[in-house]
Amino acid sequence: MDRQKWQPFLQRWSEEWISAHDPQRDSPLDEAVVRAGWLGFAPASAERIAAAEVRLGRALPPSLREFLLVTDGWRDAGCFIYQLAGTAELAWLADTEDADWIEAYDLGDDGLDGEVVDEGAVLRRSLRLSLDGDGAVMLLDPEDVDEHGEWAGYWLASWSGEGPERHASFYELMFDAYAGFHALKQPAGATRDHWESVVDRARDAALAGRIEEPLAEWERASRFGRERADRLRFQLLAMLGDRSTLPLDHVLPDRDGWRGFERDPLFHAELLPLLFAKDPLDGHGGGFALRHLRESAPEPVRSVIDEFEARRREPGFRLSFGNPEFDAAVRDVLASAGADAVPLAAPAPKPVEHDRLEARIIVVPNRPVEVPPLEEEITPPEDIWPRLRDAFRLWRPLSPDHIAPVALLAHPLLARVLTEERGRELLGIPRG
C-alpha cells in the first residue's frame, strides 16, 4: 500500500475516531489531534527512514515505509494500542522494556508439536511497533516475508486468551485494528454506511440462490461490527450443516441491539426453537446461548423464552416452520412420516433404560417420567427428501433478515434429512 492510499485511509480513520469520542467514557483527546483532525504526526523524511533501517540492520517492509512517509508514528491504533512508534522509536522487542512478552510465550522445545508455531521464537526476532497499549502489543516478523517483501504482522494481548494473531503485512495488521475500532465504537459515517450496503447486497444475492459470495461478504462486514451480517451468515452456515464456525450465541444481539428483539420474527420463529433443540451436529444444543440469554437479555426477551418453554412442554406441541403455506407443506411431510407432534429434543438426565423405538424411563428427583421416543431414532421415509424439497418452493421470509428456514433443524427428523449437500441444493433455489 503506497502513501497515496495510506493518506485518505488514515484521514478517514482520524475523522471517525474523533467523531466517535465519548467524553463521558473515553480518555481525553490530545489537543493536537482535535486541532489538526489527525491521529498521526508529521511525515518522516526518507533520510529518517534510512537512518532507522541502518540502526535496525534491516530494510523496512514496503507498507511500513510508505506509512512512515505519511506519518512518523500514530496515536490510537484501535481501542487497545495507544501509540505506534515512529522512526526514532522502532526497536526489536528483545531490546525494549517489553521483552518480558518473549518469556511469557517461550515454551521451548516442549511446547512444539508438528506444525505448531514457536511463539517465543517469533517474539524474540520481532520488531516492536507499539509503544503503549492496554496489555497488548503489535509486532512485525522479519523472517516471515512474502513475495512483495512484506513482513507478517502480529497482534498480541495478554487478556485475549489467545497467542499471537498473525496478519499478512503491516497494512493488514492496521486494517484489522481499524475494523476492530468500528466493531467496538460503531461510528456513524461513510464506512458504516458502506458495510450496511454490503450486507444488504449480499442478502439479495443469497435469496437469488448464491452461497459463497454472500458468506464471504458477511464475514468481512462482521469484522466491522455489523451484527446483521452474523445473523444472515448463521442461517446459510446452519443450512449447510455448520453450526461451529458461527455458534448461535454469537448471533444474538449486543449492546443496544436487544431493543425490540423480543418482537423480531427471526428470533420467534427460527432462533428460539434452535435454542431448545438437540444440535444435530454436535449434540450440545443451544444450551450455552440459552444461558447467555437468560443471564444478559432484558426481561421482555426472557419472558418470550419462558413462554416458549412452557408451550413446548404441552402435549401435542408442534413446531412452526415459517409462513403458513410452507409450514402446512412441511407438516404434511412430517405427518406422512408419523413425526409431526413430537416435542423438541432437550437436554435431560441420562436414561437408565433405552430401547430403540420404545418409551424410555428417565430418572428425575423422586419420580420417573415416561417420555416418547425421539424422531432421530426413526428411519426417515425414502420420499421425505423430494417432498421437503418441493415444499421449499413455498417458503417466504418472515422479516428482512430471514433468508432460510433454519427452524427445520430444530426438528430431529428433518435435521437428519438435511445433509450439507441437500442444504446446498435448497439454498441454490431462488426464493423470497
Task: Render pLDDT for 231-281 as a digit per residue (tens, 0 to 9).
Answer: 999 999 999 999 889 988 888 876 667 778 888 889 988 999 998 886 544
Q: To the nearest whole number, what is the mean pLDDT of the chain?
A: 86
Strand ordering across the sheet containing 136-145: 91-92, 127-128, 136-145, 151-157, 165-167
CATH numbers and ranges of domains, the chain: 3-185 (3.40.1580.10), 190-427 (no CATH)
For residue 138, give the H/E element and its range: strand 136-145
Whether the predicted pLDDT of 366 surpasses 80: no
Compute CA 192 distance to the chain's CA centroid, rounded to the nearest angstrom. 17
The Cα 177–Cα 183 span in angstroms is 10
Task: Render pLDDT for 81-97 as a digit per residue (tens, 0 to 9).
Answer: 999 999 999 999 999 99
The Cα 157–Cα 137 span in angstroms is 7
Q: Is the pTM of this model over 0.85?
A: no
Closest CA to 335 of 418, 414, 419, 275: 414
pLDDT-based confidence at residue 346 (cuts at 50, 70, 90): very low
Task: Render pLDDT for 33-68 as a digit per residue (tens, 0 to 9).
Answer: 999 999 999 999 999 999 999 999 999 999 999 999
DSSP SS3 for 297? coil
* 361 neighbors 368 (Cβ within 8 angstroms): yes
The Cα 38–Cα 28 span in angstroms is 15
pLDDT-based confidence at residue 11 (cuts at 50, 70, 90): very high
Centre a 10 Å sphere on the Cβ of residue 418 and count the other Cβ atoms it contains. 24
The Cα 289–Cα 247 span in angstroms is 8
Task: Classify residue 307 as exposed, middle or buried by CB count within 10 Å of its CB (0-12, 13-18, 19+).
Answer: exposed
